[in-house]
Amino acid sequence: MDPAQIGPIAVAELDAAPAADAAAELMPCCASKRWVSGLVSGRPYARLDRLTAASDALLARLDWSELESALAGHPRIGERAASDGRADGWSRQEQAGAARAGDRVRQELAEANRAYEQRFGHVFLICATGLSAETMLGALRSRLRNDPVAEREVVRAELAKIVRLRLAKAFR
């Protein structure tokens, strides 16, 4: 079975789980250990909207080093995720538009990814769900013009969107 297809569990199960088990359920949603530990220690939530609100609040407070640890859990746009784990399965689903791109667009994505990483020192992050490869490429090129401070805030907002989607896949 594809790990990305594992059905959502009830938030009440997350609330009742031992801390290590709860952390294991949350980690595919965001690779930041501080985010995971903050959500685990903030239980109970009872409902997905409360879990999501707590997640948003934690993401807003993460320092840049913690955001970078979260970024480490994301493959480059246009590259296949490395493992068959749940987070990588979700990444493949989220980046389906890039996977369907032709050779020229895939090459341009690879080149733009390299330029972005040279400029900002981290992987380009975008909430890719439902976006075409061309749309992602346009956003990447546009964001290359951002100053580093502005780009960090865009990254934080994109990460929050991704995490919200993943929480909705993991919990009900």
Q: What is the model's pLDDT at position 82?
A: 61
Supply the range of the domain harboring residue 78: 7-170
Kindly report the CATH number assigned to the domain that includes residue 153.
Answer: 1.10.3330.10
Query: 108-159 pLDDT, tens per residue?
Result: 999 999 999 999 999 999 999 999 999 999 999 999 999 999 999 999 999 9
Number of domains comprising the chain: 1
Residue 27 resides in a domain: yes
pLDDT of 1 reads 41
The reported pLDDT for the residue numbered 2 is 47
Report d(CA 125, CA 76) in Å as an integer. 8
Give the pLDDT confidence of 34-72 residue by residue, as tens digits. Answer: 999 999 999 999 999 999 999 999 999 999 999 999 998
Q: Let me know if residue 110 belongs to a domain.
A: yes
Q: If you ran DSSP here, which 8-state letter would residue 5 be given?
A: G
Residue type, 10: A
Token pair recorded at residue 1: 């079975």
pLDDT, mean over the chain: 91
In the chain, the percentage of residues whose pLDDT exceeds 90 is: 78
Please compute the mean of the pLDDT values over residues 15-30 and round it to a whole number: 97
Is 17 a member of any domain?
A: yes
In a domain, 93, yes or no: yes
Q: Rounded to a whole number, what is the distance in angstroms from the first to the last CA of the chain?
A: 20
Is the residue at 16 inside a domain?
A: yes
In a 13 Å sphere around the CA of 105, the CA atoms on its Cβ side amount to 16
Spacing of C-alpha 81 from chain mean position: 12
CA distance 141 to 133: 12
**36 in a domain, yes or no?**
yes
Write the pLDDT tens digit of every residue in 62-111: 999 999 999 988 888 877 666 667 777 787 787 777 778 889 999 999 99
* Residue 9 backbone phi and psi in degrees, to 5: -105, 160
Domain assignment present for residue 1? The answer is no
